[in-house]
Amino acid sequence: MRIAVFPGSFDPFTIGHEDIIRRALPLFDQIIVAIGYNSAKKSMFDYEVRMKWIEEIFADEKKIVAEAYEGLTVDFCVEQKAQYILRGLRSSVDFEFEKAIGQMNQSLQPSLETLVLLCRPEHTHINSTIIRDIILHKGDVSNYVPKVVGDYLKGLY
């Protein structure tokens, strides 16, 4: 069984995240979308809300599950018996970060492989940090997030 963990903050979950997961589906038997929980870092959306979005977006896809985790991603992968870490790449800035973290993760846990998929060109500018800023100022982010997330945000305004 080929199991991948797709770790991230997903604060909020975007169509960029969704696209990477869907494109990776043929490669794996299971993809665990893993919401990193950091008690010291305040997120805009509670992890319960993020978890529910992911479960709803992939309700029809049995291979995808949502989990929250605290601590090292490599420890979570071992616990879940995952052999792969899945990540998305938007830019050279992402590349430098993914390279460092991927090499460090492999150094910590040599059996773990990081698999990076290039994002679609039309998703390069979609970034959760910028989207949070737009939400904070009550802008419209419906073009950048799945419908489930867009509907949730409309309910807030």
Q: Which residues are catalytic?
A: 17, 41, 90, 128
Q: What angle do CA 132, 134, 139 make, to 5 degrees?
A: 135
Taking the complex as a whole, how short is the minimal distance between the CB of residue 146 and ligand ADP, in angstroms? 12
Q: Under the criterion CB under 6 A, does residue 50 sit at the interface with ligand ADP?
A: no
CA distances from 102 to 7, 49, 60, 84, 105 (A): 12, 28, 30, 11, 5
Cβ(13)–Cβ(54) below 8 Å: yes
Residue 105's Cα: distance from chain center in Å? 17
Q: Under the criterion CB under 6 A, does residue 14 sit at the interface with ligand ADP?
A: yes
Stretch of 16-24, 58-66, 72-80, 134-142 lying at the interface with ligand ADP (CB under 6 A): 16-24
- In the list 8, 54, 82, 149, the residue contacting ligand ADP (rule: CB under 6 A) is 8
CB atoms within 10 A of CB 49: 16
Q: Under the criterion CB under 6 A, does residue 114 sit at the interface with ligand ADP?
A: no
Interaction residues for ligand ADP, span 123-142 (CB under 6 A): 123, 126, 128
| Tokens linked to 130 | 């910028």
- In the list 55, 56, 67, 94, the residue contacting ligand ADP (rule: CB under 6 A) is 94
Taking the complex as a whole, how short is the minimal distance between the CB of residue 65 and ligand ADP, in angstroms? 16
Q: Under the criterion CB under 6 A, does residue 73 sit at the interface with ligand ADP?
A: no
Cβ(10)–Cβ(33) below 8 Å: yes
* Cα–Cα distance for residue pair 18/92, rounded to 1 Å: 21
Q: Under the criterion CB under 6 A, does residue 20 sit at the interface with ligand ADP?
A: yes
Q: Under the criterion CB under 6 A, does residue 87 sit at the interface with ligand ADP?
A: yes
Whether a cis peptide bond, with omega within 30° of 0, leads into 12 is: yes
Rg for the chain, CA atoms, rounded:
15
Residues near ligand ADP (CB under 6 A) are 8-10, 14, 16-17, 20, 87-88, 90, 94, 119, 123, 126, 128
